[in-house]
Amino acid sequence: MNSEPICGIAHVYGDNIDTDRIIPGKYTKTLDMATLAAHVLEDLDPDFARTVRPGDLLVAGYNFGCGSSREQAPLAIKAAGVAAVIARSFARIFYRNAINIGLPVIEVEDHAIRPGDRVAVDLAAGLVVNHTRNETYRATAMPQQMVDILAAGGLVNYLLRYGDYV
Amino acid sequence: MGQTIAEKILSHHAGKTVRAGDIVIVRVDGVMATDATAPLAIQAFRAMGGVRLWDPTRVFLVIDHAAPAPNETVANLHRLMRDFACKMGCRLYDIGEGICHQLMIENEHVRPGDLFLGADSHSPTYGAVNAFGVGVGSTDLAAAMRTGKTWLKVPKTIQITLHGTLRPGVTAKDVILRLLRELGADGANYQAIEFNGEAVRAMSLAGRITLANMTAEMGAKTGLVDPTGLSLDYPFTPVYPDPDAEYSRRLALDVSTLEPQVARPHAPDNVVPIARVRGTPIHYAFIGSCTNTRLEDLAAAAAVLRGRPVAPGVRLVIAPASRRVFEAALQQGIVQTLSASGAVFIPAGCGPCVGSHLGVPGDGEVVISSTNRNFRGRMGNPRAEIYLASPAVVAASALAGHIADPAEVG
Ligand code: SF4
């Protein structure tokens, strides 16, 4: 994977943020990305959808995205303009879905990112740099299969390129 | 060294011996998507150049999450699914036929030894029939619809042994809630669970389904139940773990002294023995979901209510797991008994479990529900409080007007 690092302002939340709080089930029955973006994180932080700027980063604690398999969760985050999600750990299905739809996610168990910090994510190097605090955090390595899918820009592009799992 | 059930099933589907930690490309035996996930899957399938399903006889679509359609947007998504199923020649279960997981098991689409992909997080449910069921999102599902394959990391397995015999009125739901308290919401993240022990061997298929189903609430990749004692209507070759299989963790619980358990708002692992919440006033009781509305669940509720009216100011809503369950309950007089108590039957399907329709709670209302998730806003209103319990506890609470143990309502 040879993409540039992503740099943005951090929005920081806690542990066990479930998919119902990322996007309530009542809004998921749509294919319209603007609807998803308008209600992202609504029950967790009603101001988020209004205050998030394209390129911002979402930072969370353990088990981010637990609960449902709804792909609308990473889609809503992506549609809201979030450039990458950093979490201490991710729930399995959310993590896969994010990669599949091309939303960069990076697992960093040990970090001290605070709201408003300017943070750079280097997926290729597996590093997160906190420019505000002058700290660097190492990410958990991603399985090669996922690196390949993310490098292709998601699973749709991966299959368009290779025609099958390789 | 021996293999776990998960390692055995995945080895079989990878065509080579695999171990926990390996990344493998595996063939799947079947895939399922619902009206919550199929529309995106269909879109992704087409975007990845799909024009034919890998095997139309192994692809299943179910309209259960918001069924019948509550508005025109959903109606159009349902239409998209029907149209796709017709063109592609795959089986579509339409409104009122039942909840996806129930239908996959009931109609024998998923069988022992299978690897089955569901675009729904409760797909670990298939472990009840000794199959490796795994939940994925829409794009993963689309890829499997096209290729008949997926990739997986072979999970480590946590072994849970249930000793003893459940007391009357205590069920598989109470067991899994108790285990959730122990393991927490990410206690099995990226791992498989294997259940065994005498309490498991004695469990009915319905109980096994409840057990496997809520491993999703621990983050498990799949929840496999030891097939010893499993009884199905067709012959099958069970997959057992090897005696020297390697487990990441071993846990044992003696269920003999277990009392009913309740998960408090707003997390399924926020579990306490019923004594701690007994007396909490409720407004709304719901019996439904892939976790708990099979025939024996409805029978348990009817046995508690026995036609006595639910408490004033309480409403009781029931969504059977499938039409077949509903018809069997009708035949046995269970529906009549529950209806006499004031229960409102809604179509077989997810009902208000996921908050899309058919029974959203009001602000400040307290719900007791036989479902699997009580996240804030789960039933459609972030200002409602949801408690989770077994169908018998839900019925007893509806009768009493507050959270009650079936033992105390006689
Ligand atoms: S009943 Fe509830 S948990 Fe089960 S599949 Fe339907 S929405 Fe999901």
What is the distance in angstroms between the Cα of A149 and the nearest Cα belonging to chain B?
Answer: 11
B305-349 confidence digits (pLDDT tens): 999 999 999 999 999 999 999 999 999 999 999 999 999 999 999
Is residue B372 lining ligand 1, measured as CB closer than 6 Å? yes
Chain A hits for B138, Cβ within 8 Å: 71, 97
Q: Is B120 in the pocket of ligand 1 (CB under 6 A)?
A: yes
Residue of B nearest to A16 (CA): B185
User: Are A145 and B151 a contacting pair at CB < 8 A?
Assistant: yes
Q: Would you say residue A2 has pLDDT above 70?
A: no
Whether B261 and B181 have beta carbons less than 8 Å apart is answered as: yes
Residue A1's pLDDT band, with cuts at 50, 70 and 90, is low
Distances (CA, A) of B112 to A75, A152, B9, B264: 34, 36, 9, 34
- The mean predicted confidence, pLDDT, of chain B is 97
Q: Answer yes or no: do B48 and A144 touch at CB < 8 A.
A: no
Select, from the ranges A22-31, A146-155, B59-68, the one with the highest average predicted confidence (pLDDT).
B59-68
Q: Is the CB of B65 under 6 A from ligand 1?
A: yes
Per-residue pLDDT reduced to its tens digit, B381-410: 999 999 999 999 999 999 999 999 999 998
Q: How far apart are CA B172 and CA A26, in angstroms?
A: 29
Q: Which candidate in A13, A21, A26, A103 is best for mutational testing of the B interface (most B CBs within 10 A)?
A: A26
Instruction: Give me the residues of chain B with pLDDT under 50, please.
Output: none
CA separation for the pair B128, B291 (Å, rounded): 12
The ipTM value here is 0.92
Test mutation, B27, B74, B139, B191, chain A, max A CBs within 10 A: B139
- Using only C-alpha atoms, chain B has a radius of gyration, in whole angstroms, of 20
Residue A10's SS3 state is: strand
Q: Give the residue from B391, B409, B5 showing the smallest Cα distance to B207.
A: B391
Q: What does the pLDDT read at residue B4?
A: 98
Q: Is the pTM of this model over 0.90?
A: yes
